Amino acid sequence: MAASISDTLLDWYDAHARDLPWRAPPGAPPPDPYRVWLSEVMLQQTTVAAVKPYFEAFTSRWPDMQALAAAPEEDVMAAWAGLGYYSRARNLVKAAKAVAELGAFPADEEALRKLPGLGAYTAAAVAAIAFGQRAVVVDANVERVVSRLFTIADPLPGSRKEIRERTDEITPEERAGDFAQAMMDLGSSLCTVRDPKCLLCPLSHACAARAEGEPARYPVKAPKKAKPLRQGQAYWIEREGQVWLVRREGTGMLGGMRALPDDGWSARGDGVGNAIGEALGLVRHGFTHFDLELSVLRQEETLGEGEWWPLDRLEDAGLPTLFAKAARLALA
């Protein structure tokens, strides 16, 4: 059965593979490891549609690992603004420097995992796609496909061990990279979260969830916990066509990013909220583990160490999405 699944899926992939800027077509030589690694890091918790323009901009500005390793971290962080999960950008620079010191990308999964920011999934994906190694690649799409193929009833995240074991069973010795990308494409195009298109699926004959009649109930997920709501303030300080921006601490929320001054809100609690100024409005933003309501106040005096940034070049400041929302509110 495992061979039947992999052969059938690879035949489908040869005809239906997505055309993506970081991919090599089915049967072509493997793509540049740099492009595979960069795309996989960008795609964590982010859609393909959102990643494409960032990937094109990054590879145009920093076409290889050496160029990225030589880039100032603040430039990389600014170019990353809007993609979220900013620790990924900091780890990009660290990993680029590590690879530059090694002289080349490590070619095996174990060595790849030693690079900053490369967890089990990214290391397996790079090993399989860029180096043709047999590696077990499991992302959210693969979790969904495999959960349905084998009707894995335990809820996530507890079922991940079994999902990985089952994925290992059906991963072929040859073309493991194409197989991983085929699983991703199948999950994104046909075996979707809602309304899976079973009639078009090349694996419908082998799918236990389809035979059961309820494919959409898999993967089973534990009930979501309500996210806490945090509150904070940000301060708009404008003078002669410029706005006062600060640099956030290198660690913690949005670390190393340019931002508006604020009252010290964090994932752990509210800000102090004691500043006085003209209330401009409220912006809301969702983080992974909490939601934030941020009051935007107009202030006159500068706060903290920072720099005056021209308003007509504000888009070049690389503000994270939260503070870009606050800036749009203030400018409106």
pLDDT digits (tens, 9 = 90+) for 237-272: 999 999 999 998 877 788 888 999 999 898 888 888
Nearest to 202 by CA among 241, 244, 151, 149: 149
* Confidence at residue 268, expressed as pLDDT on a 0 to 100 scale: 84
> 57-63 long-range CB contacts below 8 Å, 24 or more apart?
59/21, 59/35
Write a three-state SS string for 268-282. Answer: CECCCCCCCCEEEEE
For residue 16, the 8-state DSSP code is H
pLDDT digits (tens, 9 = 90+) for 12-38: 999 999 999 999 999 889 999 999 999
- Give first-to-last CA distance, the chain, whole Å: 60
Which string of DSSP letters, residue by residue, matches 30-91? PPPHHHHHHHHHHHTTS-HHHHHHHHHHHHHHS-SHHHHHTS-HHHHHHHHTTS--THHHHH
Query: Does the predicted TM-score (pTM) go above 0.85?
Result: no
Task: Tell me the angle at which helices 120-131 and 176-189 cross, rounded to the nearest 10 degrees.
Answer: 120
Mean pLDDT of the chain, nearest integer: 93
Residue 126's SS3 state is: helix
- Domains, the chain, in order of start with CATH, read 2-217 (1.10.340.30), 229-331 (3.90.79.10)
Give dist(CA 56, CA 22) in Å, integer.
9
As annotated, the active-site residues are 40
Which parts of the chain have pLDDT scores under 70? Answer: 1-3
pLDDT digits (tens, 9 = 90+) for 65-85: 999 999 998 899 889 988 888
